[in-house]
Structure 1
Amino acid sequence: MDDQTRIELEAAAFRRLRRHLMEDRTDVQNIDMMNLAGFCRNCLSRWYQEAANERGIEMTKDEGREAFYGMTMAEWKANYQTDAGSEKQETFKKAFVENVGPKG
């Protein structure tokens, strides 16, 4: 397989993953994804932002999130985010450090 075809297939798979998470499974909470898989929608939006920045495209965290989510974080939270219990929050703190690194 040539490089251009591989890139196109990877991009198509990414778009399908994004659509699945943003349209088909809005019921799945980011905290659950992070706790189980070690990444969530916010991670994907950060990776998108980092890829843009690496290519000389200035993009803030909020701009990356809006590009990935297709809406602002405030809109996403208002429409889809539910409260997480203390047990999920404690698990998340550990998962975040293990997969993203310490905050700050």
Structure 2
Amino acid sequence: MDPQTEIELQAAAFRRLQKHLMQDRTDVQNIDMMNLAGFCRNCLSRWYQEAAADKGIEIGKTEAREHFYGMSMEEWKANHQTEASPEKQAEFKDAFARNVGTAD
């Protein structure tokens, strides 16, 4: 497979994942994703931001999240986020530290 086709396939797979998480499975909470898989929607938006930086393109955290979510974080939270139990919050703190590091 030529490199350009591979890039196009990877981009298509990413867009499918984004659609799945942002439209099809809005019921799945970020905290559950992080606790189970070690990443969440915010990680994906951060990776997008980091990829832009690698290309010399400055995108802020808020802008990267709005691009990935298709709306502001305030809108996402109001429409889709539920309250997490203290147990889930404690598990998240550990999962975040293991997978992301320190909060920015």
What's the TM-score once normalised by structure 1's chain length?
0.98
SS in 1 for 2:18: helix
Structure 2 spans left out of the alignment, 5+ residues: none
The residue number in structure 1 matching 2:89 is 89
Letter in 1 for 2:66: E
Q: Which amino acid aligns with 2:81?
A: Q
Matched position secondary structure for 2:45: helix
Structure 2 partner of 1:38: 38
| Residue 26 (1) aligns with residue 29 (2) | no
Alignment coverage as a number of residue pairs? 104
Name 1:9's counterpart in structure 2: 9
SS in 2 for 1:82: coil
Superposition RMSD in Å: 0.7
In 2, Cα distance between the equivalents of 1:53 and 1:78? 30
Amino acid across the alignment from 1:47: W
Q: 1:66 maps to which residue?
A: 66
Instruction: Write the distance in 2 (CA, Å) between the matches of 1:83 and 1:14.
Output: 28
Separation in 2 of the partners of 1:81 and 1:102? 23
Q: What are the Cα deviations for residues 32-75 of structure 1, in whole angstroms up to 9, with x where unaligned?
A: 00000000000000000111111111100000000000000000
Query: Identity over the aligned pairs, expressed in percent?
Result: 73
Query: Which consecutive unaligned segments of at least 5 residues does structure 1 have?
Result: none
